[in-house]
Amino acid sequence: MKMNREQYDALHAMGLRPVNHRLDGFAAACYETNTVDELIDFNTAAPDPVDMETWGITPDEWRQAARAALETGMFWFDVTVRGGE
């Protein structure tokens, strides 16, 4: 997941923080295949019913996975772009 400074700042303003989550299952798929723009509205957008059926997850699990993917993206942005400031 690539992230720019504006996206990082927007996520930070939403209350997300950089965390190096151990991603697996749907959260790993979110991180590996989605962009920040596709996930940024995770808290207000309706969870994708196809994702939930495919992965056997609830709406809350869908949101938690999207949040974990974004927070992991923030972590790696800090490490690689900001140098862990």
Whose CA is closest to 11, among 1, 21, 3, 23? 3
What is the per-residue pLDDT for 83? 72
Give the pLDDT band (50/70/90) at residue 85. low
What CA–CA distance (Å, rounded) separates 57 from 64?
10
Mean pLDDT throughout 74-80? 93
Q: How far is CA 77 from the centre of its chain?
A: 12
